[in-house]
């Protein structure tokens, strides 16, 4: 796994030596700490902070949305938020595969907030940990969420002006398995997304990068899905053959009863998060 080009200097300024994160002998990811030669799992903290989204189906009927794996507030199979987003976009929404559920004051939630921060040592460390988590997930479950494969990886761009590439694109380029597939097909469009108000023209797409291609679109955090699904529509309208959706963390508000019910389900010993299974898993 590649560390960002300026990571060495940034980590050195922080009084640390850089970490290199190769694939381990069992296909997993391990970190060799160059300070003392020890081997540790950089995802260790994130694995412990992950919450299983479960697999939408009979076991979670009335609990989990079949589109976003979020909580249901009624007896429908699709949550209110996904129904609203679909009506706005006038599309049938593509299923979303979350690596984990997340809520406030969890390790994963902190990583997803800090990896884009300006505190150099903290942001680089979180980028390495997230790259290990995403890389391991893609290696094990790429076929589950994209049975027909994918030949382009893109990210949902920030609607705030950036002079550099999106940090999530940098994370994907740290993963040897997919680094050659990462492109930046999307940019800000002519319309603006309001809260839970997606619009088809919120993003513009570079058609030559996606036409007749199989796209895996990645976002860091999913709350209402307005940005992710608006970006997916832009890719579909630009001629993408298929668009699959992956998010690192499906955010839930613990204060809402349906969300708390799903979080409590995922915390039960028999339902705890495992790197061997995903929300779209084809494995038993």
pLDDT digits (tens, 9 = 90+) for 231-282: 999 999 999 999 999 999 999 999 999 999 999 999 899 999 998 899 998 6
Q: How far apart are CA 149 and CA 151, in angstroms?
A: 7
The residue ranges of every structural domain in the chain are 7-271
pTM score of the predicted model: 0.85
Classify residue 4 as left (phi > 0), alpha (psi -120 to 50) or beta. beta
Average pLDDT over all residues of the chain: 83
Contacts of residue 21, Cβ cutoff 8 Å, sequence gap at least 6: 1, 3, 29, 30, 31, 42, 128, 131, 132, 174
Query: Interhelix angle for 80-89 vs 226-237, to 10°?
Result: 30
| Contact (Cβ atoms closer than 8 angstroms) between residue 71 and residue 225 | no
């Amino acid at each position: 796994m590649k560390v960002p080009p300026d990571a060495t200097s940034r980590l050195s300024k922080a009084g640390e030596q850089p970490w290199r994160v190769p694939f381990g002998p069992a296909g997993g990811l391990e970190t060799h700490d160059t300070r003392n030669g020890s081997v540790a799992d950089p995802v260790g903290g994130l694995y412990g902070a992950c919450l299983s989204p479960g697999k939408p189906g009979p076991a979670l009927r009335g609990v989990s949305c079949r589109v976003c794996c979020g909580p249901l507030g009624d007896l429908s199979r699709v949550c209110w938020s996904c129904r609203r987003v679909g009506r706005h976009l006038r599309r049938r929404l593509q299923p979303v595969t979350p690596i984990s559920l997340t809520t406030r004051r969890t390790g994963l939630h902190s990583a997803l907030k800090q990896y884009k921060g300006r505190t150099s040592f903290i942001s680089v460390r979180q980028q390495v940990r997230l790259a290990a988590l995403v890389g391991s997930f893609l290696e094990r479950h790429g076929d589950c969420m994209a049975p027909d494969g994918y030949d382009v990886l893109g990210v949902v761009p920030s609607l705030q002006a950036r002079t550099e590439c999106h940090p999530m694109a940098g994370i994907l380029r740290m993963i040897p398995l997919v680094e050659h597939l990462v492109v930046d097909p999307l940019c800000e469009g002519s319309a603006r997304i309001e809260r839970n108000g997606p619009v088809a023209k919120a993003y513009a797409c570079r058609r030559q990068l996606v036409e007749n291609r199989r796209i895996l679109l990645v976002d860091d955090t999913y709350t209402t899905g307005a940005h992710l699904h608006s970006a997916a529509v832009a890719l579909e309208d630009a001629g993408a053959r298929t668009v699959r959706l992956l998010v690192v963390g499906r955010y839930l508000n613990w204060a809402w009863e349906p969300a708390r019910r799903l979080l409590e389900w995922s915390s039960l010993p028999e339902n705890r998060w495992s790197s061997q299974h995903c929300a779209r898993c084809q494995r038993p």
